[in-house]
Amino acid sequence: MKNRFVKTLMHLLVLLILSYTSIMAQDEQFPPQREVSRDSLLTYARMIVDSSDSHVLITVDETGNPHARTMSPFTPEENWTIWLGTFPTSRKVKQIKNNPNVVVFYYDSKSFSYVNISGTAKLVNDPDLKAKFWKDGWKRFYPDRDKDYILIEVTPERMEVCSFKYHLFWNKDGIPPSVEFDTNGSE
């Protein structure tokens, strides 16, 4: 009887140790989301965007399927409006005309950090803005800036930030820290 009691007690002890170890391992793998002020989150996001080495624009086609492509966006403005350039006849332009909901995704592979900005895209063909948002190396791609080049203006609606470097992780529901923007793009 005593031997059986000791054996049962040992099994319970092992079970408790394994449960505790499992919980600790999960906490180490995905630490709880910490509270970060809006201003701090925007500062972290700006640092991640500035150091990002991958930039992706995601659009939605007429059947509802997403399409991702690497892009070379300009640095987001102070209010997080994002400008990109492309061909007026590109597939992404057709998709934006049909559905203006887009995502611009920035990833910094060195810090395992990303910023995900969802918003509304608008096509802009203003010559002054096209001159402002222009890279000299693009002349070979867009020989005639007036005809071969159009801007995409993304007005942000929501930003999500996740970073191992800055300890910004998902909450228990898998939702990363985020910022909501009003519809005119201000913070």
Calpha distance 65→104 (Å, rounded):
16
| pTM of the predicted protein model | 0.81
Residue 186 per-residue DSSP state: -
Show the beta-strand stretches assigned E in the chain: 54-60, 66-70, 82-86, 101-108, 113-124, 150-163, 178-180
The whole-angstrom separation of Cα 41 and Cα 139 is: 36
In contact, 157 and 19? CB cutoff 8 Å:
no
- Return d(Cα 123, Cα 132) in angstroms, integer: 15
Are both 26 and 38 inside the same structural domain?
no
| Single-letter amino acid, residue 13 | L
Number of domains in the chain: 2
Closest among 70, 134, 64 to 106, alpha carbons compared: 70
**Model confidence at 187: pLDDT above 90:** no
Tell me the one-letter amino acid at 78: E
Q: What is the DSSP letter of 52?
A: -
- Condensed to tens digits (0 to 9), the pLDDT of residues 103-158 reads 999 999 999 999 999 999 999 999 999 999 999 999 999 999 999 999 999 999 99
- Please tell me the distance from the alpha carbon of residue 133 to that of residue 127, in angstroms, as a whole number: 10
The residues, ordered by sequence, that sit 6+ positions from 74 with a Cβ below 8 Å of its Cβ are: 82, 83, 84, 133
pLDDT at 28 over 60: no
Query: What per-residue confidence (pLDDT) applies to 182?
Result: 87
Q: Is residue 187 part of a domain?
A: no
Asked if 25 and 102 sit in the same domain, the reply is: no
The answer to whether residues 133 and 146 belong to one domain is yes
Residue with tokens 């985020």: 178
Tokens of 5: 């009691």
Asked if 58 and 23 sit in the same domain, the reply is: no
- Please check whether residue 185 lies inside any domain of the structure: no
Which pLDDT tens digit goes with each residue over 42-92?
999 999 999 999 999 999 999 999 999 999 999 999 999 999 999 999 999
In terms of domains, do 81 and 38 share one?
yes
Asked if residue 141 belongs to a domain, the reply is yes
Region of 174 please: left (phi>0), alpha (psi -120 to 50) or beta. Answer: left
Range of the structural domain that residue 84 is part of: 34-180
